[in-house]
Structure 1
């Protein structure tokens, strides 16, 4: 009886100790974060909302102290831009959440809005360089921006970019959430990769993060792993890091909630070490 009582008393304390140890290990791994004062711009995926990536933004600010939750930029269906929050150039790694009111718009439309938002950030806040984090179709919008405007001095330039659960096969995102069948897909993929290699800037650091829920589909439940890894063919000229998270929690809509992925992104964007 005494042993059971003793064990019952020790178990909660042990759980607290383990949790504290895990937290100190996490914080210790990223204690040398740089205050680069380069803003990071987050764009959600198809059917996304402000809450899609704001949880990650809050953790980066309040839990890890890697950056500063600064602005929410909203784009109406007509393309009107409104902002809330406060942006300070001197803030530690400002974090900006971009939200499209029409979250089911085509990639072409989202790419145009993305261009408009980034021009707005330059004109209103003097932002000349930024980090980009795109989840799913939001990553597609950033690819379009890189291809069309990265070399245009009138627009802000990308410093680093994170593609989180992004389908790189064009047939998987060109028609929203519905994939289209391509004849001779391998040949088209090869030609597309060669074309993008010529267009995309070579000095941008890139990270790809994907998920595999290990249910036999070799996907995160929405995006195939082969489509995620096709990004390696697109970015042959750029410094590239790739992380694949495996397990039941690595679902498409849960990728931006996983501590392991927080660590990958934080280290890539803000750490002193390589």
Structure 2
């Protein structure tokens, strides 16, 4: 027979047990919510090192906005960038900008540059970039920028930075991502879109297996385009950070099918000791093909996003 005292004891025990269960459940729910809300290490890095610096996209030979869009859209989807400006350079050099560039952006505005002639070459691209950068500072009050250049666009960004990178008329360059830049020649493969006459035809002056880097990092064969960059290397902005990306399709040419690894890596002997930081990333296999590096290679795209918006 259960006494009144035992009944009270049982009641107290059940009450205390219920309180303990409620507390445990509450603690479990709190910890579960925190673990769900807590970002992954990659997400945390992106949020912690969030940059609002505008990013220029500069295409190369035979390319355009279509080659820039996959990476531009991916950066927007990952929440690190936002739509900014479309910049069209007219046939006579006039610059027209469409879109909006906020004075105080919460994410990096993207600035996609389209040249009137996809086959105009890096030197004319560099001259057009100079005009674009002046307008960005004068009319949009851009004080610094990052940029992504592919192929001849990479060379154009490099030569433009050497020529005018320290000009007070231009915003200061911060980070440059240079993809498959032909700093010491382009493979002569006799493709249909390769010029056979005029000044630009002389840029296709490389041969598979012909060149290699010496111990000092310089190429054994120094083509005119390399010599030009080397001549003006001391004028390159010292505060700049460089990520040099190259591809190797592993077909025996030691190249991405268009630019040899030697040509791409020769940039190191020009800028490695000149800039604040210089990094190199190589990619191999089918998706390391020259036109795929920016537009289709997801590993390259993520590497660029991590470099521009993640930890250094």
Query: How does the TM-score come out when normalised to structure 2?
Result: 0.72
Checking the alignment, whether the CA contact within 8 Å between 2:185 and 2:259 is kept in structure 1 is no
Match of 2:285 in 1: 247
Give the alignment partner of residue 265 of structure 1, picking from 301, 304, 309: 304
With over 3 angstroms needed to count, the CA separation of the structure-2 counterparts of 1:194 and 1:113, relative to structure 1, is: closer
Query: 1:220-274 CA deviation, whole Å, 9 max, x = no partner?
Result: 1111111111111111222111000001111111101222112211111111x23
Match of 1:186 in 2: 220
Checking the alignment, whether the CA contact within 8 Å between 2:145 and 2:171 is kept in structure 1 is yes
Checking the alignment, whether the CA contact within 8 Å between 2:186 and 2:259 is kept in structure 1 is no
Whole-angstrom distance in 2 between the partners of 1:186 and 1:51: 36
Match of 1:59 in 2: 74
Q: Is residue 38 of structure 1 aligned with residue 76 of structure 2?
A: no
- What is the Cα deviation at residue 202 of structure 1? 2.1
Match of 2:23 in 1: none
- SS of the residue aligned with 2:83? strand
Give the count of matched residue pairs.
246
Give the alignment partner of residue 249 of structure 2, picking from 208, 213, 221: 213
Over the aligned positions, Cα root-mean-square deviation in angstroms equals: 2.5
Describe how 1:194-209 pairs up with structure 2 within 5 A.
194-209=230-245
- What is the Cα deviation at residue 177 of structure 1? 8.7
Greater Rg by CA: 2
- SS of the residue aligned with 2:243? strand
Checking the alignment, whether the CA contact within 8 Å between 1:77 and 1:101 is kept in structure 2 is yes
Describe how 1:27-106 pairs up with structure 2 within 5 A.
28-33=41-46, 34-62=49-77, 64-91=78-105, 92-106=107-121
Whole-angstrom distance in 1 between the partners of 2:178 and 2:308: 12
- SS of the residue aligned with 1:207? strand
Match of 1:5 in 2: none
Describe how 1:107-256 pairs up with structure 2 within 5 A.
107-169=122-184, 175=200, 178-180=203-205, 186=220, 188=222, 194-237=230-273, 238=275, 239-256=277-294
Query: How does the TM-score come out when normalised to structure 1?
Result: 0.82
